[in-house]
C-alpha cells in the first residue's frame, strides 16, 4: 500500500487500540517498544504513547520482531480465555439446570456473589442470576412438554409456590405452563473465535442467527425475532449448536471453508434469493452487489441487495463478507471492515493452499 494509505491504516488501528474496539480482535496486534511486549487490540492495560507502538498483522510477526506476549491479555491464546469463575458456575448450572444457587450457596463455595454477577455480565451479557434462571426455566419447559405435570415441575425446579412458577414461566415464555405446547424456544450459545465472540441461536428448524456479539444491529434483530416469531431465547444444548461450534472452529483453524449446517428458513422471498446467491460465491472469491442483483433477475436492485446482505445475521456461514462494491472497495459490513478484510484474506490464503 502507498504511504498515505498506510498512515490512514495505522491511525485506524491506533484509534481501535485506544477504544479497545472488539471488532478488531485478532485483526492486528500492538507492540510496545519500551517494554517489548505485544497485546491484543482489546488489552485493558494502560495505553502507551503513540510513538512507542508498532502494529503487526499477526502474532508471529510480533514474535519475530522480538516482542513477547502480554501476560494480561494473553495474545497467544486462540480465543479469549473463559474466566475461571464463569466456567465453574456454568458447569455447575449445566450439571443440574433445575437447581437454584442462591447467594448463600455461592458464599459457601467461596465465591463473592457480586463478582459472579459482574463476570457473567461481562462475558455473557447477563448476570449469573439471569443465566441460571433462563436455564432453569428452559429445563422446566422441557419437563412440562415431556409430560410431567405442572406441580411436579414446579417442585423439581425450585419454585416454592405454583403462582410464582406460573408467573416466572409466563414472563420468560409468554405463556402459562398449561400452554407449554404452544411455546417455541430458540437455544443460544456463546462461541469464542479468534475475531471475537459470536452468538448462535438454533432450534430443530436449523440455525437462525450466528454473528459477532458486538455486530451492529444484533440486539435489534434478536428483539425482532422474538416479537415476530413469538419465541423465547434461553441458553441450552442443541445438536445444531454443537455443529455450529465445531464447524466455525474448523473454519478459523483453516480446515473448512464450506459449511453443512442446517439453516432455518427466515426472511422475505427477496432476502432469501440474495442469501442463496451468497452461498454460491466460492471461498476466496468476491462478487459485487450489482452482480448479485443481476443474478436474481433484478439488475436495478443494488441498494435492496445491500440491505438484504446487511440483514443476513448468519455471518461466515452465509458469506455476506464476500460481497464488495463495484469499484472493488470493501463497503459496509456489520461486523466491521477490519473483520471483513481478515475473513477474505483468510479464505484466499487457505484456498491457495488447497484447503
Residue of 24, 202, 235, 28 lying closest to 123 (CA atoms) = 235
User: CA-CA distances (angstroms) from residue 272 to 318, 327, 334?
Assistant: 11, 25, 18
Q: Which residues of 74-108 are buried (b: 16+ CB within 10 A; e: fewer)?
A: ebeeebbeebebbeebbebbeeebbbebeeeebee
**For helices 113-124 and 84-95, angle between their N-to-C axes, nearest 10 degrees:** 90
Catalytic center residues: 39, 320
Neighbours of 258 (CB within 10 A): 11
Q: Are 175 and 182 in contact (CB under 8 A)?
A: yes
C-alpha span between 168 and 172 (Å, rounded): 6
Amino acid at each position: 500500500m502507498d504511504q498515505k494509505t498506510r498512515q490512514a491504516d495505522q491511525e485506524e488501528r491506533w484509534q481501535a487500540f485506544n477504544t479497545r474496539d472488539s471488532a478488531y480482535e485478532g485483526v492486528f496486534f500492538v507492540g510496545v517498544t519500551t517494554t517489548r511486549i505485544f497485546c491484543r487490540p482489546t488489552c485493558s492495560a494502560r495505553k502507551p504513547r503513540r510513538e512507542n507502538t508498532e502494529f503487526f498483522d499477526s502474532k508471529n510477526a510480533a514474535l519475530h520482531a522480538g516482542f513477547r506476549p502480554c501476560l494480561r491479555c494473553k495474545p497467544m491464546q486462540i480465543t479469549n480465555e473463559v474466566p475461571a469463575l464463569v466456567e465453574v458456575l456454568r458447569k455447575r448450572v449445566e450439571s443440574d439446570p433445575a437447581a437454584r444457587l442462591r447467594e448463600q450457596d455461592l458464599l459457601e463455595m467461596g465465591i463473592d456473589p457480586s463478582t459472579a454477577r459482574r463476570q457473567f455480565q461481562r462475558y455473557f451479557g447477563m448476570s449469573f442470576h439471569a443465566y441460571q434462571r433462563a436455564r432453569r426455566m428452559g429445563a422446566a419447559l422441557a419437563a412440562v412438554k415431556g409430560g410431567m405435570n405442572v406441580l411436579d415441575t414446579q417442585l423439581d425446579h425450585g419454585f416454592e409456590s405454583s403462582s410464582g412458577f406460573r408467573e416466572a414461566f409466563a414472563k420468560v415464555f409468554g405463556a402459562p405452563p398449561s400452554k407449554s405446547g404452544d411455546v417455541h424456544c430458540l437455544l443460544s450459545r456463546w462461541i469464542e473465535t479468534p475475531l471475537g465472540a459470536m452468538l448462535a441461536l438454533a432450534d430443530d428448524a436449523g440455525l437462525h442467527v450466528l454473528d459477532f456479539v458486538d455486530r451492529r444491529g444484533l440486539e435489534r434483530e434478536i428483539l425482532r425475532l422474538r416479537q415476530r416469531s413469538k419465541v423465547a431465547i434461553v441458553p441450552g444444548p442443541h445438536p445444531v449448536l454443537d455443529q455450529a461450534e465445531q464447524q466455525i472452529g474448523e473454519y478459523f483453524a483453516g480446515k473448512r471453508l464450506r459449511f453443512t449446517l442446517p439453516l432455518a428458513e427466515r426472511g422475505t422471498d427477496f432476502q432469501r434469493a440474495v442469501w442463496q446467491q451468497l452461498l454460491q460465491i466460492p471461498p476466496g472469491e468476491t462478487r459485487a452487489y450489482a452482480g448479485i442483483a443481476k443474478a436474481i433477475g433484478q439488475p436495478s436492485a443494488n441498494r435492496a441487495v445491500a440491505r438484504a446482505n446487511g440483514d443476513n445475521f448468519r455471518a461466515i456461514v452465509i458469506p455476506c463478507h464476500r460481497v464488495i462494491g463495484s469499484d472493488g472497495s470493501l463497503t459496509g459490513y456489520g461486523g466491521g471492515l477490519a473483520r471483513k478484510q481478515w475473513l477474505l484474506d483468510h479464505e484466499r490464503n487457505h484456498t491457495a493452499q488447497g484447503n
